[in-house]
Amino acid sequence: MTEKPTTAKEMAQVETIIGRILQIGVIVSAIIMAVGLVLFLVTGQSGYPGSTVPTSMQTILTGVIQFRPYAIMMLGVYCLILTPVLRVIVSIYAFYREKDRLYVAITTAVLVILIVALVIGVYGK
């Protein structure tokens, strides 16, 4: 049983999906950050003492549940950072469907680099 080759129409659909992921990611991030900014402007409080800001995902999620403006804005930033990571993952799938092993390998290497950078950013102090 052989697989049929990926058609130009299928690849155009994948490219459309990738574009939509980027659009939706940016819009969702902007909305989340805007909610945090409005909450900050209305309350005049960051939700944290002094110049403290939430940095760990647990602190951010706890702050979001408590409607702390800085935590909400940080969640928006994290969503914005993760948007291109999701795009890379979808690209790996697209190259796999095209049976383009070289680009699957290159894009997978990019994903590994992004994940390592995120881990260093979160845990490296």
Phi, psi of 37 (to 5 degrees): -65, -45
pTM: 0.76
In whole angstroms, give the CA distance from residue 8 to residue 18.
15
Instruction: Find the farthest-apart pair of alpha carbons in the chain and give their distance in angstroms, rounded.
Output: 65
Task: Inform me whether the pLDDT recorded for 2 exceeds 60.
Answer: no
102 token code pair: 């070289």
Residue predicted with more confidence, 7 or 65:
65
Predicted local distance difference test score (pLDDT) of residue 35: 95
The model's pLDDT over 42-72, given as tens digits with 9 standing for 90+, comes to 988 878 887 787 777 888 899 899 998 989 9
pLDDT band at 31 (very low <50, low <70, confident <90, very high): very high
Residue predicted with more confidence, 1 or 93:
93
Other Cβ atoms less than 10 A from the Cβ of 52: the count is 11
Looking at the chain, the whole-number percentage of residues with pLDDT higher than 70 is 94
The model's pLDDT over 69-89, given as tens digits with 9 standing for 90+, comes to 989 999 999 899 888 889 899
